[in-house]
Amino acid sequence: MTQAVKTPVYLDYHATTPVDPRVFEAMQRYFCAEFGNAASSEHRFGWVAESAVKQARQRIASLIGAQRVAEIIFTSGATESNNLAILGAMRANAHKGDHLISVVTEHKAVLDPCHWWRQQGGRVTLLPVAEDGLIDLAALEAAIDERTVLISVMAANNEIGVLQDIAAIGALAKQRGVLFHSDAAQAAGKIPLDMEAMGLDLCSFSAHKFYGPKGVGALYVRRRNPRVRLAPLLFGGGHEQGLRSGTLNVPGIVGMAEALALAVAEMDEEAARLTALRERLWRHLAAGLEDLTLNGHKTKRLPGNLHVSVADVEPEKLLTAVKDLALSSRSACTSASQEPSHVMAALGLDEQRLQAAVRFGLGRFTSEAEVDYAAARMVSMVAQLRRENTVAQHS
Ligand SMILES: Cc1ncc(COP(=O)(O)O)c(C=O)c1O
């Protein structure tokens, strides 16, 4: 018997995640009781805040395999981290080169700084992806020239969940003496990340993607082998080693560290649980729906990501019809536009698959009952919409 589920069922964990109550608990005292400014060095309020930030920085550094605590720069999220990494590295290294390599399926928070760099007269190569969403390492290698400063490749895609081979790209970048940045907004806390082992020089994080608060993130900036130079985007009080001025978001930073620690501690078990739930969802959908296709690589994907195309159904209509499921047909950041997403367009799929994409994002609080409910609702609603289409065509 199906258990009762509370609706709407949240299946949009790539857009954002709820703050885990354990994270909220850890943050709470830094709002009202311990509200000090971490830069106030003359009194206890400041010391308490500073010590909380220091501890959070240490925890994050050790959780991501950074060699030095000072390699963690707190920001407002992955958008800011990506902008600082890309524009900061290109500007600071203008004497070495003007060329930047990234990928067509990156998040807009990477693509837009790339476009801006191009508008300033810089050179940008955006690599294509295969139908499975993966880049070709040989093409990446061939794109590197003597004026290439930076390679930026996301660890996990926010739409199709595809995981690029970060360690292999890091090894190649090292070998060619090029800096390597990765947008790990979707990957952090879901798959193992190790800055040292993966040869990363810069890496972007966002707390709200791993059950931490919104509006806080970090940029990992390598200090040795090589020491990465960045030009800041924000000027002011000289916080974060002059790389990011602005009063630190102490509760947010504490929450981010707690959230990452929990996600890393529970990663293996959670990944297995989500993979099983995703497969269950796929099985139910595939059993009930004809012409269902999976988008993105079959196994090299985030455990909680299922991205499908449902032929002959307009996703906007479908998602409006199933109001009791919180789903997305493209990334939240671009969903205001009606065009197929740039990620889907890059896969080279036929128009049918391109137009009919639905993203399921499963997460920490997704249950088996919710997956079963979602699959049943999708199957019945698609059948109804297809019947309506047929009637419309014949009338
Ligand atoms: C891959 C990726 N990069 C960057 C971002 C932007 O992150 P933030 O919301 O922290 O600015 C997101 C969030 O949608 C994302 O999924």
Q: How confident is the model at residue 338 (pLDDT cuts 50, 70, 90)?
A: low
The answer to whether 274 touches 191, Cβ cutoff 8 Å, is: no
CA of 185 to the centre of ligand 1 (A): 6
pLDDT tens by residue, 96-145: 999 999 999 999 999 999 999 999 999 999 999 999 999 999 999 999 99
Model confidence at 225: pLDDT above 90: yes
Measure the CA–CA gap between 390 and 277, rounded to whole angstroms.
33
pLDDT tens by residue, 53-112: 999 999 999 999 999 999 999 999 999 999 999 999 999 999 999 999 999 999 999 999
The answer to whether 194 touches 221, Cβ cutoff 8 Å, is: no
pLDDT tens by residue, 34-47: 999 999 999 999 99
CA of 229 to the centre of ligand 1 (A): 23
Atom of ligand 1 nearest to the CA of 331: 14
pLDDT tens by residue, 254-277: 999 999 999 999 999 999 999 999
Summarize the confidence of residues 353-377 as an average pLDDT: 94
Ligand 1 mutation target, pool 16, 74, 107, most atoms within 8 A of CB: 107
What percentage of residues in the chain have a pLDDT greater than 70? 97
Measure the CA–CA gap between 215 and 209, rounded to whole angstroms.
11
Ligand 1 mutation target, pool 13, 206, 302, most atoms within 8 A of CB: 206
Measure the CA–CA gap between 310 and 382, rounded to whole angstroms.
8
Ligand 1 mutation target, pool 79, 202, 205, 343, most atoms within 8 A of CB: 79
Q: Cα–Cα–Cα angle for 166, 104, 337, nearest 5°?
A: 125
Model confidence at 336: pLDDT above 80: no
Q: What is the pLDDT of residue 332?
A: 46
Q: How confident is the model at residue 330 (pLDDT cuts 50, 70, 90)?
A: low
Q: What is the pLDDT of residue 317?
A: 83
Q: In the chain, where are the structural domains located?
A: 9-18+267-394, 21-265
For domain 9-18+267-394, the CATH architecture is Alpha-Beta Complex (3.90)
315 versus 243: the higher-pLDDT residue is 243
Would you say the CATH fold of 21-265 matches that of 9-18+267-394? no
Q: What is the pLDDT of residue 333?
A: 46
Model confidence at 179: pLDDT above 50: yes
* Residue 345 DSSP label: H
Please state which of the ranges 253-262, 332-341, 342-351 shows the lowest mean pLDDT. 332-341
Please state which of the ranges 205-214, 286-295, 328-337, 364-373 shows the lowest mean pLDDT. 328-337
Model confidence at 337: pLDDT above 60: no
Q: Which residues contact 4 (CB under 8 A, 6 or more apart)?
A: 369
Summarize the confidence of residues 324-349 as an average pLDDT: 77
Atom of ligand 1 nearest to the CA of 215: 10
- Report the nearest-CA residue for atom 7 of ligand 1: 78
- Nearest Cα neighbor of 127 from 146, 151, 156, 108 is 151
- Report the nearest-CA residue for atom 2 of ligand 1: 185
Summarize the confidence of residues 171-195 as an average pLDDT: 98
- Report the nearest-CA residue for atom 4 of ligand 1: 78
**Mean pLDDT rounded to a whole number for the chain:** 95
CA of 62 to the centre of ligand 1 (A): 23
Q: What is the pLDDT of residue 185?
A: 98
CA of 65 to the centre of ligand 1 (A): 21
Atom of ligand 1 nearest to the CA of 106: 1
**Catalytic residue flag (residue 32):** no
What is 21-265's CATH number, 3.90.850.10, 3.40.50.2300, 3.40.640.10, 1.10.510.10? Answer: 3.40.640.10
CA of 95 to the centre of ligand 1 (A): 30
Give the residues surrounding ligand 1 with Cβ less than 6 Å away.
77-79, 107, 109, 154, 158, 183, 185-186, 206, 217, 333
Q: What is the pLDDT of residue 2?
A: 54
Model confidence at 387: pLDDT above 90: no
- Report the nearest-CA residue for atom 10 of ligand 1: 77
HEC-encoded secondary structure of 274-308: HHHHHHHHHHHHHHHCCCEEECCCCCCECCCEEEE
Q: What is the pLDDT of residue 313?
A: 85
CA of 303 to the centre of ligand 1 (A): 18
